[in-house]
Structure 1
Amino acid sequence: MDLDRADLKLLELLQRDGRTTVQALSEAIHLSARATLNRVRKLESEGMIEGYRALVSRAALGSQVFVFAEIALKDQRQASVQRFEKRMATAPEVVACYIISGRYDYLVRLACPDLNHYHALITAWLDDPALGVEKIVTNIELATIKEFAGFPLPQPGGR
Structure 2
Amino acid sequence: MPLDPTDRKLLAALQRDGRASMEALSQLVHLSARATLNRVRKLEADGHIEGYRAVLARASLGEHVSVFAEIALKDQRRATAQRFERHMLACPEVVACYLISGRYDYLVRVACRDLAHYRDLTSVWLDDVTLGIEKIMTNTELQTVKEFAGFPLPLVKP
TM-score in terms of structure 1 length = 0.97
Question: 4+ residue stretches of structure 1 with deviation over 2 A?
Answer: none
Q: Which residue of 2 aligns with 1:133?
A: 133
In the TM superposition, residue 144 of structure 1 has moved relative to its aligned partner by 0.3
Structure 2: stretches of 5+ with no match in the other structure:
none
Between the aligned partners of 1:51 and 1:99, the Cα distance in structure 2 is: 22
Secondary structure at the counterpart of residue 107 of structure 1: strand
Q: Distance in 2 between matches of 1:76 and 1:3?
A: 37
* Counterparts of residues 13-52 of structure 1 (less than 5 Å): 13-52=13-52
Distance 1:155 1:20 in 2: 20
The one-character-per-residue Cα deviations of 1:77-111 (angstroms, maximum 9, x if unpaired) are 11111000000011000000000000000000010
Q: Distance in 2 between matches of 1:72 and 1:26?
A: 48
In the alignment of these two chains, the number of paired residues is 158
Query: Root-mean-square deviation (CA), in Å?
Result: 1.0
- Corresponding residue for residue 59 of structure 2: 59
Give the superposition deviation at 1:142: 0.1
Which secondary structure does the structure 1 equivalent of 2:146 belong to?
coil
CA–CA distance in structure 1, aligned partners of residues 10 and 149 of structure 2: 15
Identical pairs, percent: 68
**Residue 144 (1) aligns with residue 144 (2):** yes
The TM-score with structure 2 as length reference comes to 0.98
Distance apart, 1:5 and its partner CA: 1.2
Write the deviation string for residues 118-139 of structure 1: whole angstroms up to 9, x where unpaired.
0000000111110100000000
